[in-house]
């Protein structure tokens, strides 16, 4: 990087006239002329939206309250305020092994945990169900709390449950988590021959799920799905789709990340009149740094053995093993690997902006769901560093506001408008697959 920069500086010194003539370089470092153009002011003027945080587990399992100090976490009211975070999507994630046989119960308890937190702190936080709600919360200086289900197994193969979750306020669902379900495949186990997979990414029932999400106005989230499920979802969905927390595979070769072709497919999703979907970049070290990802993978045999031993001991002692406990073990192992620099996260945002387009990129931190994040990104309070780094790379104030939340709001509006249109066309859901009739 340094050598490249030196070469560019030499070039710049040699050709000032040429460079002056080519002033329309969107990524040329800018000089900040007015106070309102400064990164801190730009960040403060934006509606900042993060589409994925796993703080919900802390709230439910540890009775964590957002008024408390971070205590190892990434998100509380103080850090949200300092980072001007306007809206957070709290993840409704049901660990598929720990909660086998009670997915719906755990889903409902997680939803309740988020709603209780909002009820407890009406002066600091409000539940939000629409783009308008997010804007209202912003005007009232409150954190807008939204919910997204992570993993289609939560609906237990029931469109009725899907609708119930929507009624309770859930506004997106990743079709899978790291586990494939009966109707969609996951990137987490797609190469595992022991797991049953679909023929073409989604079963007929899976297509019905996508359609019913479109009709309800629940955003179709393709983070975590297998590649073939991704493409099947894109061509099935009437509304544009999005990735709530995924980064770029061209830079970091993780199956959870998206190829350039997929980035472009998200940008073009939703049909001919659509403005397209968005890719919300994940902050996890293993998704933004190939070096970190490889070190984590190399550590896996030793780590897994040690963690299994510890979990076995806890169980023998009669303890209930929670996500917080296993997450803590992961963090201890992750801490042995040097964190990637913040610039690598910015590289991913920059890559998605260049490949998918500036209107198709945003932030999906995965706060409280990741054992490691880049240097300097220790909590929501550090979000303004992203704006500063983007502006240093030549991104305009308007570009930054798009990335920080504007793009997502536009996408969310279109999903809701598509739903209204579909509801007018078919107040009763038409049966587009036969499988649902005989399902279960
Ligand atoms: Zn996830």
Q: Is the pTM of this model over 0.85?
A: yes
CA of 420 to the centre of ligand 1 (A): 29
To the nearest 10 degrees (0 to 180), the angle between helices 407-425 and 131-139 is 140
93 Cα–ligand 1 center, Å = 8
Query: ∠ at Cα 21 (19, 24), nearest 5°?
Result: 85
Task: List pLDDT tens digits, range 7-31.
Answer: 444 444 444 343 333 444 555 555 5
Q: For residue 424, how far is its CA from the centre of ligand 1 (angstroms)?
A: 34
Distance 7 CA to ligand 1 centre (A): 40
Q: Distance, CA 151 to ligand 1 centroid (Å)?
A: 9
Ligand 1 centroid – CA 100 distance (Å):
18
| Residues 269, 256: Cα–Cα separation, whole Å | 19
Cα–ligand 1 centroid distance for 153 (angstroms): 14
Given 3-state DSSP classes, what are the helix, strand and coil percentages for the chain, each rounded to the nearest 5?
50, 10, 40
For residue 242, report the distance from its CA to the centre of ligand 1, in Å: 13
Whole-number Å distance, alpha carbon 17 to ligand 1 midpoint, is 49
Q: How far is the CA of 224 from the centre of ligand 1 (A)?
A: 7
E-state strands within 321-414: 361-363
pLDDT (tens digit per residue) in 137-156:
999 999 999 999 999 999 99
- Tell how far the Cα of 371 is from the centroid of ligand 1, in angstroms: 12
Note the pLDDT tens digit of each residue in 210-254: 999 999 999 999 999 999 999 999 999 999 999 999 999 999 999
What distance in angstroms lies between residue 52's CA and the mean position of ligand 1's atoms? 8
Residue 91 has pLDDT above 50, yes or no: yes
Q: If you average pLDDT over every residue of the chain, what do you get? A: 91
**CA 9 – ligand 1 centroid, Å:** 41
Beta-carbon count within 10 A of 181 CB: 24
């Amino acid at each position: 990087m340094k050598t490249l920069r030196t070469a560019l500086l030499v070039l710049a010194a040699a050709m000032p006239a040429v460079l002056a003539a080519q002033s329309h370089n969107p990524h040329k470092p800018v000089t900040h002329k007015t106070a309102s153009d400064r990164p801190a002011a730009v960040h403060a003027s934006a509606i900042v939206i993060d589409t994925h945080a796993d703080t919900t587990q802390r709230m439910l399992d540890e009775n964590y309250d957002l008024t408390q100090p971070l205590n190892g976490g990434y998100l509380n009211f103080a850090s949200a305020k300092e980072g001007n975070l306007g809206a957070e999507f709290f993840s409704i994630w049901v660990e598929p092994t720990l909660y086998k046989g009670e997915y719906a119960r755990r889903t409902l308890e997680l939803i309740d945990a988020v709603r209780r937190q909002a009820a407890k702190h009406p002066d600091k936080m409000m539940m939000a169900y629409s783009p308008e709600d997010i804007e209202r919360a912003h005007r009232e200086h409150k954190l807008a709390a939204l919910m997204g289900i992570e993993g289609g197994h939560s609906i237990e193969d029931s469109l009725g449950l899907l609708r119930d979750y929507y009624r309770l306020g859930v506004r997106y669902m990743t079709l899978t988590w790291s586990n494939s379900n009966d109707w969609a495949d996951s990137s987490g186990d797609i190469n595992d021959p022991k797991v049953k997979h679909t023929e073409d990414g989604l079963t007929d029932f899976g297509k019905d799920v996508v359609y019913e999400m479109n009709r309800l106005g629940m955003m179709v989230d393709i983070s975590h799905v297998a590649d073939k499920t991704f493409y099947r979802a894109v061509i099935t969905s009437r509304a544009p789709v999005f990735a709530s927390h995924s980064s770029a595979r061209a830079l970091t070769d993780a199956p959870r990340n998206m190829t350039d072709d997929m980035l472009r497919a998200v940008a073009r999703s939703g049909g001919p009149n659509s403005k397209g979907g968005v890719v919300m970049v994940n902050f996890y070290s293993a998704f933004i740094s190939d070096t970190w990802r490889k070190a984590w993978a190399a550590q896996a045999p030793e780590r897994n053995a040690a963690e299994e031993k510890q979990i076995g001991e806890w169980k023998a002692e009669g303890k209930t093993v929670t996500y917080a406990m296993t997450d803590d073990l992961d963090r201890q192992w992750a801490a042995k690997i040097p964190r990637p620099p913040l610039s690598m996260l910015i590289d991913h945002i920059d890559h998605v902006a260049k490949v998918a387009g500036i209107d198709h990129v945003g932030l999906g931190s995965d706060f409280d769901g990741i054992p490691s994040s880049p240097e300097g990104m220790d909590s929501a309070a550090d979000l303004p560093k992203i704006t500063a780094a983007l502006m240093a790379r030549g991104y305009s104030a308007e570009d930054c506001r798009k990335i920080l939340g504007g793009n997502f709001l536009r996408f969310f509006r279109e999903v809701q408008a598509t739903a209204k249109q579909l509801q007018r066309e078919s107040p009763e859901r038409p049966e587009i697959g036969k499988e649902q009739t005989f399902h279960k």
